[in-house]
Amino acid sequence: MIESFEKTKIAGSIASGALDEVNNIIKPGLSTLEIDKLCYEYINDHNAYSAPLYYRGYPRTCCTSTNHVVCHGIPSEKILKNGDIINVDVTAIKDDWHGDTSRMFIVGECSIKAKKIN
């Protein structure tokens, strides 16, 4: 039982680490596809793989939901603008154990109302 918790923790740490890396690059002018590429590389660099990638035809490593998109937005050439809010959802699989997490980011400066959401 303890081993399963430890393996889940490792997978979760990889997913969370990918979001830490997103935090380092998030800014106006970045595309959601660039976020996906970063997550893909981070997960692979940690000898894990993305759960959503190719699941039922899903084409990307993570989900990027901007502004009014509730969840499971598909990364694309969409360029983030100052004031956007984006949620990035990452699920890494390591040794058959899943780590699933998401984080909301504010792109550049945003309204007081938007800050209250975060």
CB atoms within 10 A of CB 115: 11
Cα(115)–Cα(96) distance, integer angstroms: 37
Helix (H) or strand (E) run with residue 99 in it: strand 97-106
pLDDT, one tens digit per residue, over 8-39 is 999 999 999 999 999 999 999 999 999 999 99
Looking at domain 2-117, its CATH superfamily turns out to be: Creatinase/methionine aminopeptidase superfamily (3.90.230.10)
pLDDT of residue 78: 94
**Residue ranges of domains in the chain:** 2-117
Cα(22)–Cα(17) distance, integer angstroms: 9
How does DSSP classify residue 58? -
pLDDT, one tens digit per residue, over 43-94 is 999 999 999 999 999 999 999 999 988 888 999 999 999 999 999 999 999 9
